[in-house]
Amino acid sequence: MTTDHPLIQLTLARLREFIREPEALFWTFIFPIVISVTLAAAFPGESSRPVRVGLVDSAAAEAVRSALAGDDGITIVEIAPDEELGALREGDVHIVVVAGEAPGDPPTYRFDPARDESRLARLAVDAALKRAAGRADPWQAREEPLVVPGSRYIDWLIPGILGMNIMSTGMWGVGFSIAQARLRKLLKLLAASPMRKSQYLLAQMMARLMFLLPEAAVPLGFGALVLGMPIAGSLGSIAAVCLIGALAFTALGLLTASRASTIEAISGILNLAMLPMWVLSGVFFSTANFPEVAQPFIQALPLTALNDALRAVILEGAKLSDIKGELGILGVWAVVPFGVALQLFRWR
């Protein structure tokens, strides 16, 4: 096969268009790093975060203040009585403590028991105040703080960002460029030439898979080298998961672009397809947060399968045989949309 083979020329054309588009490069390579670092800064390791306790100023509040001040795990925030609810709602404080009126009266805690941070804050405040009031601890447990490799939020986050990126690049990269070629009547001109239509579609997929390697290597390398994320699984397994994930999303990109002939239409369809997965598929927070009844749907989404597979391989060192279920789901998402897209595809 010489470089003048149409498949190579078509693939090169797509690759050239991609690397000559600075915005595409930003979204593919820089954005995942920016978002990882930003989120890692916003959510540092759980242990280092003190709970924020709102204290309503009053004569009796002084005793509470001094009782809490000695605890490293507690940050006191002064609030006016009429700001209590607002501060709780905004997340400025996790709990509000109102001191009892007379010395020795028990305090009042105001907090939302549905929020994890608020329950945590209640335990910390309650223990500190009771200790200050003279409660004797029967014993002090010996604490052995352990940092389990791969257990930080950032470690959990990076595979999700990688999965999200594979989805976005696959769907935008393939979907948008095809819709644009149709809009420019370029697809029609190609269809009028002796070009084989299957080679055009194959070239779109090949070009997409070629930028998969740097696209996956950048966030993983950044995570491993700069943020200290452990990579437990083999690089071969990671590559295999990325590849089948990319195929699934390329097929979906092809499907979304099979008819769209305006930029508005393709943007709308792509966002409609991707938005539920951004929220539901465990990119930023675990899918376990959603109710049991929604789980079959969530687990069947391709991004959920990809994220679960990536985390299992990267963080837990899973082998491909351990993630057969996820790979199967991705395989179905690669084959079915591709087949449907070929049926629906319009060249004009």
Partner 1 sequence: MSTSAVRCERLTKRYGDLTAVDGLSLTVRRGECFGLLGPNGAGKTTTIEILEGLLTPDEGDVEVLGLRWGRDDDALRQRLGIQLQETRLAEKLSVEETLRLFRSFYRRGRTIDELLGIVELEAKRHSWVGKLSGGQRQRLAIACALAGAPDLLFLDEPTTGLDPQSRRQLWGVLERFRADGGTVVLTTHYMDEAEVLCDRVAVVDCGHVIAQGSPQELIAQFGTPKVVTHHGTLEDVFMALTGRHLRDD
Residues binding partner 1 (CB under 8 A): 4-6, 8-10, 12-13, 16-17, 20-21, 181, 184-186, 188-189, 191-195, 348
Residue 24 or 273 having the CB closest to partner 1: 24
φ and ψ at residue 175, rounded to 5 degrees: -60, -50
Q: Are 306 and 328 in contact (CB under 8 A)?
A: no
Residue 191 or 235 having the CB closest to partner 1: 191
> What angle is formed at CA 61 by the lines to CA 63 and CA 87, rounded to 5 degrees?
135
Residue corresponding to tokens 């009053």: 58
Q: Are 345 and 258 in contact (CB under 8 A)?
A: yes
- Residue 190 Cβ vs partner 1, minimum distance, rounded to whole Å: 8
Task: Report the interhelical angle of 212-225 vs 153-170 (nearest 10°).
Answer: 170
- Residue 321 Cβ vs partner 1, minimum distance, rounded to whole Å: 42
Give the E-state strand segments of the chain in sequence order. 51-56, 74-79, 95-98, 108-110
- Residue 251 Cβ vs partner 1, minimum distance, rounded to whole Å: 23
- Residue 316 Cβ vs partner 1, minimum distance, rounded to whole Å: 42
Residue 36 or 177 having the CB closest to partner 1: 177
- Residue 182 Cβ vs partner 1, minimum distance, rounded to whole Å: 11
φ and ψ at residue 75, rounded to 5 degrees: -115, 130
Q: How far is CA 92 from the centre of its chain?
A: 24
User: Strands 108-110 and 95-98, how do they pair?
Assistant: antiparallel
Residue 193 or 343 having the CB closest to partner 1: 193
Helix (H, G, I), strand (E, B) or coil at 75: strand
- Residue 47 Cβ vs partner 1, minimum distance, rounded to whole Å: 50
Residue 190 or 209 having the CB closest to partner 1: 190
Residue 181 or 205 having the CB closest to partner 1: 181
Helices (H) and strands (E) in the chain, counts: 16, 4
- Residue 202 Cβ vs partner 1, minimum distance, rounded to whole Å: 14
Return the closest-CA partner of residue 277 out of 308, 254, 255.
308
Return the closest-CA partner of residue 157 out of 295, 35, 313, 31.
35
Residue 10 or 154 having the CB closest to partner 1: 10
In angstroms, the CA 6 to CA 8 distance is 5
In angstroms and rounded to an integer, the radius of gyration of the C-alpha atoms of the chain is: 27
- Residue 306 Cβ vs partner 1, minimum distance, rounded to whole Å: 30
Residue 195 or 224 having the CB closest to partner 1: 195
- Residue 176 Cβ vs partner 1, minimum distance, rounded to whole Å: 13
Residue 197 or 319 having the CB closest to partner 1: 197
Beta bridge partners of 109: 97
Q: Which amino acid is residue 176, in one-letter code? A: F
Q: Please count the other Cβ atoms lying within 10 Å of the Cβ belonging to residue 178.
A: 25
How many residues does the structure list for the chain? 348
